[in-house]
């Protein structure tokens, strides 16, 4: 689990605030992984999404009849969900490691592209809190980038020369390191490395390239820029 020390908590919040409000177009590539995760959910289930991004997962969940709740540190993002999707108090401002929801409340907690942003202490606390708010047998589910080379996405501020990851990532996961993190507080059900293709946003050339990536995946050949899909259950 490679760690990147260059991005602190304050910088993290500034990055999240920008992409979740002014830069929501950047979440277009998330469509594939979000639709894949929604496929595990069933109508009427209680689901908590940690890290709301553009709010697209909430839209898909509501369309599927899921009783979705949201948690994010950015107040503007939460207010937008409350107004646009009529979530009210089901959308709350807060952090994964200090979850305001009640114990044993949810069938699923979703954390898609969240864990890679967290420090050691916040990662441990977030997984522990996810376990707390899950019902017995409930599942934590999500994705992280697979084997990301953090150095490839480093950028430098032209004014202060501060170096940081362009998306605010602080760590890189392999299947083994992710299992180790989840296994401290939950029973790991599945960790699989796979492409997540946003088919709906692809033209015919993009769909053809996506089919080739999926063929490689089914043949057991590793595909670059894949995700680690994880599912872990509260005993």
| Element (DSSP H or E) covering residue 11 | helix 9-21
Stretch 52-71: mean pLDDT, rounded? 96
Confidence class for position 166, pLDDT limits 50, 70, 90? confident
**What pLDDT does residue 34 have?**
95
Q: Is the pLDDT of residue 5 over 70?
A: no
* pLDDT classification of 12: cutoffs 50, 70, 90: low
Q: Which backbone phi and psi does 32 adopt, to 5 degrees?
A: -65, -50
Q: Tell me how many degrees the CA angle 178-183-189 measures, rounded to the nearest 5.
A: 85
DSSP 205-230: HHHHHHHHHHHHHHTT---TT-EEEE
Q: Is pTM beyond 0.85 here?
A: yes
Per-residue pLDDT tens for 78-129?
999 999 999 999 999 999 999 999 999 999 999 999 999 999 999 999 999 9
Q: Can you name the CATH fold of 2-197+226-233?
A: Rossmann fold (3.40.50)
CA 148, CA 11: separation in Å to the nearest integer? 20
CA angle 116-122-128, nearest 5°?
A: 100
Q: Where are the domains of the chain?
A: 2-197+226-233
**C-alpha pair distances (Å), 158 with each of 162, 163, 165, 178, 195:** 8, 10, 14, 34, 34
Query: Among the listed ranges 185-189, 191-195, 218-222, which one has the minimum average pLDDT value?
Result: 218-222
pLDDT at 9: 42
**pLDDT above 50 (res 3):** no
- Cα separation of 148 and 226, whole Å? 9
Query: How confident is the prediction for the chain on average, in pLDDT?
Result: 90
Q: Per-residue pLDDT averaged across 35-40, rounded? A: 96
- State yes or no: pLDDT of 10 exceeds 50: no
Give the whole-angstrom CA distance, residue 66 versus residue 109.
12
pLDDT score recorded for residue 163: 85
């Amino acid at each position: 689990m490679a760690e990147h020390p260059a991005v602190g908590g304050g910088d993290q919040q500034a990055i999240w605030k920008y992409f979740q409000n002014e830069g929501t177009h950047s979440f277009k590539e998330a469509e594939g992984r979000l639709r894949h995760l929604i496929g595990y959910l069933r109508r009427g289930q209680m689901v908590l999404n940690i890290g709301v991004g553009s709010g697209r997962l909430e839209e898909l969940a509501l369309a599927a009849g899921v009783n979705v709740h949201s948690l994010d540190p950015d107040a503007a993002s939460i207010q937008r969900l409350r107004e646009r999707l009529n979530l009210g108090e089901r959308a709350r401002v807060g952090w994964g490691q200090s979850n305001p929801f009640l114990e044993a409340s949810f069938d699923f907690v979703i954390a898609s592209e969240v864990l890679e942003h967290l420090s050691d202490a916040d990662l441990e606390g977030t997984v522990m809190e996810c376990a707390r708010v899950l019902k017995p047998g409930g599942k934590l589910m999500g994705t992280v980038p697979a084997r990301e080379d953090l150095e490839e996405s480093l950028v430098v501020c032209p004014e202060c020369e501060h170096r940081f990851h362009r998306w605010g990532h602080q760590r890189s996961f392999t299947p083994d390191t992710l299992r180790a993190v989840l296994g401290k507080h939950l029973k790991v059900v599945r960790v699989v490395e796979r492409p997540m293709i946003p088919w709906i946003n692809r033209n015919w050339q993009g769909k053809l390239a996506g089919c080739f990536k999926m063929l490689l995946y089914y043949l057991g050949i590793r595909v670059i820029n894949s995700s680690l899909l994880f599912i872990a259950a509260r005993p």
